Each structure stands twice: as C-alpha cells, then as structure tokens.
Chains A and B, each alone.
Chain A
Amino acid sequence: MENEKEGFPMTALREIRILQLLNHENVINLVEVCRSKERGSIFLVFDFCEHDLAGLLCCEEVRFSLQEIKSIMQQLFNALFFIHGVRILNRDMKSSNILITRSGVLKLGDFGLARAMSKGQVQRYTNRVITLWYRPPELFLGERNYATPIDMWGAGCIMCEMWTRRPIMQGDSEQKQISLISNLCGSITPEVWPGVESLELYCKLQLPSDQKRRIRERLRHYVRDMHAIDLIDKLLVLDPKKRLDSDGALNHDFFWEDPMPSQSDLAHTLSKVRRSMFVMHTSTARPGGGAGVPGAGGGAVAGNTNHFHDRVF
C-alpha cells in the first residue's frame, strides 16, 4: 500500500490521528493499527459493528418505529455534535458509513476523508469531497471555505432515508445532482441565499430557475410526524449559514415530544435480525452503491469495517 515517494500515506496517517482524537460512544473506535509482515499492508482494527444503516434500510423485514428512528437520528446528531465540537469535519456522510451494533448503538464510521478545521482566516479546502448523493449545494458551487454545515446536509439526506428507505437524490453527475437539489429545495438564488452569486461556479453551472421549495409536500407521502418533517426542512436548507447545526437539531421538538427516542426498542428490533446487514452484500437495488467521485476516496486504508462477510449469530 505504500507509495514509495510519499512513504506511509499521509491520508492514512491523518485518518489515524483523527480517529485517536475522537473518543465518543457514537463514533467508531479505533482499537489498533496492525501491519502485515509479508505484504506491507496496514490494517485499522475497529470495534465490531453488525450492521450499517444502508444495509438495514435495504432489508424490508427491518421496520423501524418512530421511537427507533428518533434514537438513530439522535445518536447521529450526538456524533456530529461531538466531532464538530473538536473541529473535525467528517466529509463523507452517507447511510453506508453509519454503523449500528446489534444492541442499537450507532457509530459514525469512515474518517478517510475527514479533516481538522483550521482556525482563523479564509480556508481553501479541497472541494472534491462527499459522495455525490449526499453532497451539499455549496460544494457544487465551488465553495472551498466550507464548515460543519456540509455534514448537516448529509444528515438531512440520511434522515429522509429513514422513511424513503432509499437515498432521496440519486444524481449521476454533478449537473444532475444540483438539478435534483433545486427541484426539491427550490431554486438557488441570492434571495434565499445571500452571497451565493459570489461563489466561483454560480455563473458557470446551469441552475434551474423558478423552482419552488417542495420538501414538505414531497415528504408528506412518506412521513406522518410533523416534527420530523420540520427538522428535515431545517436541515436541507440551501444556504449553509441558515442550515440547522447539530446543537439545534438535538434541541428540536422531534426529540422532545412523545413518543420519545428509544434505544432499547431499537436493540429489540435488531435482535431479531439474524444476519449482518451491510449494504455491500445486501443490495442489488442500489445501482452504483456509493456513487463516489473518482479521486475523492483519498484514504487508501485497508481493513475497512465494511469488509465483513455474512455471519449468522
């Protein structure tokens, strides 16, 4: 795995550093780093998680109650609140990176694209991050001085999936994805998003005009709970400055009105799932699984938590 000129891959070193820094119930725990003597590969060893969210959502027998959905989302926002508090961006939010143990504990995984935020002046981070379907509008427009709202957009997409069971916006190109976003969230204009016109690609992309925001009406077919719809509506906000942050999400009525989040219900439901549900071997229904962008998958780290085989308990 070693590039001779680079030495030990820098992306892997930084991922290891970030994982060591992140010590939280809802973030995947790096147990150790091993090196195989013969082949020179290195392996990151994590705590074992039986499922990933994408795999569970593909499996029709697994049905989540509102309490269970609330528990999953609450744990996800707890993870984001923690990592953002220590100034780490995940930059790869997607349902297949949300791992869930048999006892209903969510672990945010895969920090291969993560980075620490620098303090102070305007930053120029790389723009080529996050799987297309979960990528927020500011990245398509060429924003490089982005921050924690990029992960909140992905959390909004994931929250929708709890009801739709499939990723909600499955574009096959950047242009297509931005059209899907406008179609759902309304046209991208300086009125709803002051300052958007100064982003590098605002004039270069074809941005659909005269699109109304249709999130609430579209979701009504899937989601009955009004608080849930309201929370999603506040996460899938075009302007990153107005998008709800993790603290705001955790304080939302969705988590504080009956029925309250229940992790024990979730554990009970999952105890009936006999196989490990990972999207990579449950799904044929998700073409292209992770429609990642070539070159975006920086961390060439072996021993990804997804690489487990079916196991029967």
Chain B
Amino acid sequence: NLKYTLKCVSLAVFYHIKNRDRTRPPRTLLIFDEKEHPLTREEVPPHYADYTPDHKIIYKFIKTLFHAAQLTAECAIITLIYLERVLHYADLDLHPSNWKRILLGAILLASKVWDDQAVWNVDYCQILRDISVEDMNELERVYLEQLQFNINVASSTYAQYYFDLRSLAEDNGLSFPMNTRL
C-alpha cells in the first residue's frame, strides 16, 4: 500500500502544479527555487520553470526518497499535509521551479516528527548526492518558520486526507487497497 499511497500523493502534487494560477507570476521563495539551490550537479535546463512535470516524474522523485530513507505510507500522507500547510501559510504556488524542494522539505520534516526510525538531514545528502547538509538545514529552518512551527496533525485531519486521497485515486482509476491503516 506504500506504492499506492505514493502514487496518490504524487497525483495530488501534480494537480497542485497543473491547476496553478498562470495569470500572474508564481508566488515562491528563493530557498525553494531549483536554479538557486540545485538538487543535482547537472545543469538545470533553461526551461525548468516552464513545463508542468508529468505525474510519473513526481512519483519517481517521491519514490526514490521514500525507498532510500525507508519511510512509511503514513509518512507520505503527513508529507502532503505539511506541503499544503506551507503553501497555505506562506502563500505560495506549487510551480515547476519549486515543487521538488517544497516536497523535499515536507518529506524531511514528516519523517523527523513522525517516523520511529527518523532520518537525519545528513542522510538525505547520501540520497541526493549533490546537495549539502547546510542547504538541507536551511531548507528545514525556512520550512519550520513558514509553518510557524505548527507541526502537529490532528487525527481528524489525517483521516480527512486519507479519504480525500482515496477519492482522488478512484477518480483517476487507481485502486487503493482497503487495508491501509489509519
């Protein structure tokens, strides 16, 4: 069920980017910009900010992180909650230029607060080889500040997201196994 949860979360992220308001410049922060803070040493393509990524690319990005850090399905749902919370609190648009780093920050925080076997920031530098621990720490700091340290998730919120993800899966023809634990 981890696989299906990750697919659903990817879809939710995909729709955020796809349905963004294109009539105005994106509201974003420099710390989330991939050109300013590249995740890999490969050159960022010139049109990195123009094209909505396919949801398979988003899934691949999340899957790589979740598998390498051995995170759980519950952690994926918390990731989405933190991501939407930071967009809401900081008034940001999820956008081709910033989705990876906003997602990375949410995954980092979700695992640290909720997973029994949490991952240290430096461990992500093993997974994303070209990123520095200072950059990870700064990303985390900004995240916490933008969230105003509001990192608790009420069980009702968690349940709400769980069911919303299920309907999203159904609407998109994904099957969601019944036994995902609340």
A residues at B contact (CB < 8 Å)? 2, 4-8, 10, 13-14, 16-17, 20-21, 32-33, 35, 118
A35 near B145: Cβ-Cβ < 8 Å = yes
Q: How far is the CA of A283 from the CA of B112 in the complex (A)?
A: 38
B116 near A118: Cβ-Cβ < 8 Å = yes
Q: How far is the CA of A106 from the CA of B181 in the complex (A)?
A: 37
Number of A-B contacts (CB under 8 A): 51
Q: How far is the CA of A13 from the CA of B110 in the complex (A)?
A: 10
How many interface residues does B have (CB within 8 Å)? 23
User: In the assembled complex, how far is the CB of residue A197 from the closest CB belonging to chain B, in whole angstroms?
Assistant: 29
- Since A6-B121, A20-B151, A20-B152 are in contact, a sample of 18 more A-B pairs with Cβ atoms closer than 8 Å, ordered by chain A residue number, is A2-B137, A4-B133, A5-B121, A6-B120, A7-B122, A7-B136, A7-B140, A8-B137, A8-B140, A8-B141, A10-B120, A13-B112, A14-B113, A16-B151, A21-B154, A32-B149, A35-B145, A118-B116
Main secondary structure of the interface of A (DSSP, over half): mixed
The contact of B150 among A10, A14, A20, by CB within 8 Å, is: A20
Interface residues of B in 84-112 (CB under 8 A from A): 108-109, 112
Q: Across the two chains, which residue of chain B brings its CB closest to A33?
A: B149
Q: From known contacts A2-B137, A13-B112, A14-B113, infer whether A7 and B120 are also in contact, taking CB-CB under 8 Å.
A: yes
Q: Across the two chains, which residue of chain A brings its CB closest to B120?
A: A6
Q: Across the two chains, which residue of chain B brings its CB closest to A5?
A: B122
0/1 interface trace, chain B 137-157, chain A, CB 8 Å (1 if under): 100110011001111101000
B118 at the interface (CB under 8 A from A): yes
**Can you report 20 A-B residue pairs in the complex whose CB atoms are below 8 A from each other?**
A4-B122, A5-B120, A5-B121, A7-B108, A7-B112, A7-B120, A7-B121, A7-B122, A8-B112, A8-B140, A8-B144, A10-B118, A10-B120, A13-B109, A13-B113, A20-B150, A20-B152, A32-B149, A33-B149, A118-B116
Q: How far is the CA of A17 from the CA of B113 in the complex (A)?
A: 7
Q: Across the two chains, which residue of chain B brings its CB closest to A34?
A: B149
User: In the assembled complex, how far is the CB of residue B96 from the closest CB belonging to chain A, in whole angstroms?
Assistant: 27
Q: How far is the CA of A142 from the CA of B151 in the complex (A)?
A: 32
Q: Which residues of B contact A7 (CB under 8 A)?
A: 108, 112, 120-122, 133, 136-137, 140
Q: How far is the CA of A170 from the CA of B124 in the complex (A)?
A: 45
Q: How far is the CA of A6 from the CA of B137 in the complex (A)?
A: 8
A21 near B122: Cβ-Cβ < 8 Å = no
Q: Which residues of B contact A2 (CB under 8 A)?
A: 137
Interface residues of B in 132-178 (CB under 8 A from A): 133-134, 136-137, 140-141, 144-145, 148-152, 154
Q: Which residues of A contact B151 (CB under 8 A)?
A: 13, 16-17, 20
Q: Which residues of A contact B120 (CB under 8 A)?
A: 5-7, 10
Q: Which residues of A contact B109 (CB under 8 A)?
A: 13
A16 near B149: Cβ-Cβ < 8 Å = yes
Q: Which residues of B contact A33 (CB under 8 A)?
A: 148-149
